[in-house]
Amino acid sequence: MFNFFKITCTCAKVSNNKHYTMPNTNSPITAAAYWMLITLISFSVLAVAVRELTKSLGTAEILFFRSLFGLIIIAFIVYKTGTKQLKTRHFKKHALRNVAHFLGQYGWVTGIAFIPLADVFALEFTTPIWAVIIAAVMLKEKISRARIAALVFGIIGVMVILQPSTHAIHPAALAVLAGAASYALSHTLTKSIAQFDSPVAIIFYMSLIQLPMAFILSITNWVMPNGIMWLWLVTVAACALLAHYCMAKALSLADAMLVIPLDFLRLPLIMLVGLLLYNEQPEWSLLAGASLMLLGNYLNLKYARTTRNS
C-alpha cells in the first residue's frame, strides 16, 4: 500500500512536467502504449476485486469503501504535492458530474456481480455512443452522417451481444447500459470542468462527493468487512485511481484515435481472466458485437478529428 502511495505521488508530480516521458521510450506513442498497458491491467484487476467483493458486500458499500480509500490516497498525494490544485469555482458541476458518475459505477458493479466480465466490458464500450446522443440532446450539436453511422454500428453491436431474439436480457446487462449512459454524461461534464480544474481536483471531489452518497445507500444493507475483503477493497480504490490516471496520461501523449483502439484490448484480456478464474466461456457473438461498437467509436473519433482540423 505504501509503495502505491509512492507511485501515485510520483505520477502526480510528473503529470505537471510536459517534458516527462516513460523511461526507455523513443516516442510519445510508445510511452502512451506503456501507460495503456498499466490501464488495461488495472481495469482487469479492478474487475476481479469487485467480483470477489460482490459475493459478500452490496454494491453501495463497495462504492463507499472505494470512495473512502480513494479519498485517503488522494489526500496523501495532495499532502505531498500541495493543496493549490484543489481550488475550484465549479462545485455545482462537480456535484452533477459525480451523481452521473456514481450511477455509472453502480451499473458497472451490478453487471460485474451477475453477468460475465467480458459482457460488462463490451457493453461499457457503448459510452462514446451515448456521448453522441447526449451531445445532440443537451448541447444541440448536429449529428453528421459519420456519427449516425457510428450510432448504427453501436446499436447493432449491442443487439449482437445481447441477442434479445434468442434469450431474455439479464437485468444486470440493462444496468450496465444505463451505467454507460451515465458515464457518458459524466465524461461530457468532465471535459467542461477540466478546462478550469486540475485532474487531482476532479478525482478529489469525486471521492468526496460520492462518499456520503454511497454511505446513505449502504446503511440498510451494511456488512462489516473482514479478512481478505479489506485487501480487495483497497485494491478497488487503488486500481480505479491508477487506471483512470494512466488512461488520461496516455491521451495526453497520443491522439485518441491511437489510444482508444488500445483500450479495446481490455476485452480479450478480461475474456481470458474470466475464462481462467470463473470458467466464463467466451462467445463469438461478444467479439462480433464489440468489434462493431469499436468500428462505431473509431468513426466517431475520426469525425471529431476531421472537424477539429478543418
Query: Taking 90 as the threshold, does the pLDDT of residue 232 lie above it?
Result: yes
pLDDT band at 171 (very low <50, low <70, confident <90, very high): very high
Percent helix, strand, coil in the chain, to 5, is 80, 0, 20
Angle at 109 between CA 156 and CA 240, to 5 degrees: 105
CA dihedral 198, 201, 202, 205 (to 10 degrees): -170
State yes or no: pLDDT of 105 exceeds 90. Answer: yes
- Report the pLDDT value the prediction gives residue 220, as an integer from 0 to 100: 93
Q: How many angstroms separate the CA atoms of 240 and 238, rounded? A: 6
Instruction: Give the model's pLDDT for residue 26.
Output: 59
- Check residue 25 and report its DSSP letter: -
pLDDT at position 141: 74
For every residue of 83-103, DSSP letters joined together read SGGG--S-HHHHHHHHHHHHH
Burial of 41 (0-12, 13-18, 19+ CB in 10 A): middle
Could you tell me the pTM of the whole model? 0.84
With a cut of 90, say whether residue 282 has pLDDT above it: no
Please name the amino acid found at residue 111.
G
Tens digits of per-residue pLDDT, 184-211? 999 888 888 888 888 888 889 999 999 9
Place of cell 462545485: 91
End-to-end CA distance of the chain: 47
In the chain, % of residues over pLDDT 90: 44
The pLDDT > 70 percentage for the chain reads 88
**Section 285-302 average pLDDT:** 82
Q: What is the pLDDT of residue 87?
A: 86
